[in-house]
C-alpha cells in the first residue's frame, strides 16, 4: 500500500509540473535520509523535454515584471497574483497594486490615470462588490523593451 501511495504522489507531482509526463517513464529515487523525500533523477530530467522546457519558462517568467494586488481590510491580507480578494464590513477600502521584478531604469504606463508613471505601486479606492482590473506596460529604458502585466482586485461586503 505504501509503494502505491508513493507512486501516486510522484505521478501527481510529475503531472502537476508538466501536465504531460507519464510518471511510469521516470526513475524516482530516494535522495536523502528524510522520510518520504523522493525526487526525479537528473538523467530523466534532462531526457524529458517537457520538464526542461517548463524550467526554462519558469526562469524566464520569474525575471520579468509581474503585478500583484492586495485589498486592505482589518484582517491579515495577503498579496495575490494575478488576482486578489478580500471581504469586509466597510463600504470602501483601498486596493494596492505593485509590480515586482522591475528594471532599474523604467517607466510604467498604467491603465488608470490616477497611477504615477514613475512608481511601481498604485493605490485605488474600491467599494464593496466592486472589481478593479489594472494593467501596466513597463518600459525598460536599459534595453528598450517593454513588458505587459495585469492584476484584478475584488472586494466583497460582509453585511
Q: What are phi and psi of 134, to 5 degrees?
A: -125, 135
Q: CA 92 to CA 116: how far, in whole Å?
A: 22
**16 pLDDT tier (thresholds 50, 70, 90):** very low
Exposure string for 60-96, b = 16+ CB within 10 A, e = fewer: eeeeebbbbbbbbbeeebeebeeebbbebeeeebebb
Q: CA 153 to CA 33: how far, in whole Å?
A: 44
64-157: CATH topology? Immunoglobulin-like (2.60.40)
Report domain extents, the chain.
2-62, 64-157
Cell 501536465 sits on residue? 19
**Total-model pTM:** 0.61
Mean predicted confidence (pLDDT) in 39-56: 51
Q: What is the pLDDT of residue 76?
A: 85
> What is the maximal distance between C-alpha atoms in the chain?
60
**20 pLDDT tier (thresholds 50, 70, 90):** very low
Report the mean per-residue pLDDT for the chain. Answer: 74
Quick: pLDDT tens for 96-146. Answer: 999 999 888 899 999 999 999 889 999 999 999 999 999 999 999 989 899
- When mean pLDDT is compared across 14-18, 73-77, 90-94, 132-136, the lowest value belongs to 14-18
Mean predicted confidence (pLDDT) in 151-155: 96
pLDDT at 48 over 70: no
Amino acid at each position: 500500500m505504501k509503494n502505491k501511495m508513493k507512486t501516486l504522489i510522484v505521478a501527481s507531482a510529475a503531472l502537476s509540473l508538466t501536465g504531460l509526463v507519464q510518471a511510469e517513464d521516470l526513475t524516482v529515487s530516494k535522495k536523502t535520509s528524510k522520510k518520504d523525500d523522493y525526487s526525479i533523477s537528473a538523467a530523466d530530467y534532462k531526457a524529458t523535454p517537457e520538464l526542461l522546457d517548463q524550467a526554462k519558462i519558469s526562469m524566464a517568467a520569474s525575471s520579468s515584471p509581474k503585478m500583484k494586488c492586495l485589498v486592505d481590510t482589518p484582517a491579515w491580507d495577503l498579496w495575490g497574483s494575478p488576482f486578489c480578494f478580500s471581504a469586509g464590513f466597510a463600504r470602501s477600502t483601498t486596493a494596492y497594486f505593485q509590480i515586482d521584478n522591475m528594471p532599474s531604469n523604467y517607466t510604467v504606463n498604467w491603465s488608470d490615470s490616477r497611477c504615477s508613471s514613475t512608481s511601481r505601486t498604485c493605490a485605488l479606492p474600491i467599494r464593496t462588490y466592486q472589481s478593479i482590473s489594472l494593467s501596466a506596460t513597463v518600459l525598460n529604458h536599459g534595453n528598450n523593451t517593454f513588458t505587459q502585466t495585469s492584476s484584478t482586485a475584488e472586494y466583497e461586503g460582509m453585511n
